[in-house]
Structure formats: structure tokens, C-alpha cells
Homo-oligomer: A and B are copies of this chain.
Amino acid sequence: MKTHVLVVDDDPGTTGMLRRFLAYEGYSVSIAASGDEALTRTLEHPPDLIVLDILLPTLSGLEVTQRLRAAGDQVPILMLTARDSVADRVEGFEMGADDYLVKPFAPEELLVRVKALLRRNQAIRYEVLRYADVELDMGTRLANRGTRKFVLSPTEFDLLALFLRRPRQVLTREIILNCIWGLDFEGSSNVLEVYIGYLRTKLEAEGEPRLIYTVRGIGYVLKE
């Protein structure tokens, strides 16, 4: 399946050029000429990347970005600006754009940035964490131990991911609390114990051997 790029611009010259150029480079391309057309197309057929002009009819590129991010859409966005307006650039980043390009630009320059964004995004999207017979797919958010699949709540998921990124390392309670709950000090709460309990019942069900060990007075480890 080809990587799909949505190009949003109201100038037919620009869109035509980008369509030909990106198609030639092996991408499948669709075009939108206005802000709300961009949103509609994104909902109908989510692209892998959006090239988005700032100056658009109906909704500006900034507004499109803002709405997509508000809806939780993480698609990489490459913004195009007519002039090198620092204010626009800053605002764009604030809204959640991932990169910028100033018009006029050389098509090769756009290609470099498109590739960089896709690489960055794919690396994150398709990461699967593994240790022993445990797998955690960061894309689908599914977990399994051997053939047994199980689902995790958001916090359980983050916690397991943290352990899977540092197998065999003892993670101190302090580090875990800080990474997962953002707590800088250890209060009187015992959330951590509770969530370790939750994770164990899911991770070590059906009499499977222990994977999360407690290191008394320090924290916990993931190990065989």
C-alpha cells in the first residue's frame, strides 16, 4: 500500500505541481482546495501526512491543524507559508504542526521534509516492544503473552511500556511515579502498588511465571 499524502492548497498551480511530483516519487496523492474539504477528506480516508497551506478559504491551515489535534489526530502536518512570517510559524507549532516550509520552495526540499516526517512518525507508529514472551504493540495498543491476548487500561499500558523499555533494570518507585503519574515526591498514596497488582493479574494470569518482581524498599523489575 502506498503512503498517502493529502495536499491542501487553493492554488491549482501548486496542487497540480505537488500531485505530479509526489506521484512521481511513489506516493498516492489527494487534493483539497479548502479548509473544510481538508477535514472531510481526512475523516473519510485518513492520510499518512498532510501538506497544508496556511492561507485557505473557509478554514485557515491553522484552524484545520487545531481541529485535527483537538480530535486526537496525530497525523504529521507540513505547513506551507506564503512568506517567512515568524508569527505564523510560531502559531503553527503551537497548534500542532510538525514542520514548516516557506513558499516558494524547491520540490526536492519538500520531499526531504516529507520523508523526514514520515520516518519519524512511522518509527513511533509501528514500534512493538518485546521482552520474553510479552509483546506490546504501541500502534494497536494490544498486548499479548505468548498466544494469550489481553487489553490494558491507559495507565496499565504506560506502565507496561515503561517496564518493557528497561527490562531487567530495577525501576525505583520514584522514577515510576514520576514517569507515569508525574509525581515528584512520594505521597501517602499507594496507586503504584495497586497498578502493579492490576498489571500482574493481567500479565501473569493462568499460572504463568512471574515477570514483575518487587524489590523491597526500592521499586520493581521486569525480568524472567
Contacts and interface: CB of A to CB of B under 8 A. Distances in A.
Copies in the assembly, this chain: 2
Contacts of A141: 170, 215, 218, 221
A86 interface: yes
Interface of A is mostly: mixed
Contacts of A195: none
Given A119-B178, A216-B154, A217-B153, A169 B93 contact: no
A90 interface: yes
A169 B153 contact: no
A163 interface: no
A78 to B, nearest CB: 12
A198 interface: no
Nearest to A84: B87
Contacts of A126: 169
Contact of A168 (B86, B100, B140, B168): B140
Interface residues of A, number: 31
Contacts of A154: 216-218
A100 B95 CA distance: 11
A99 B94 contact: yes
B100 A94 contact: yes
A67 to B, nearest CB: 13
A139 interface: yes
Contact of A166 (B90, B122, B216, B217): B122
Interface in A17-36: none
B90 A86 contact: yes
A168 B140 CA distance: 6
A141 B166 CA distance: 14
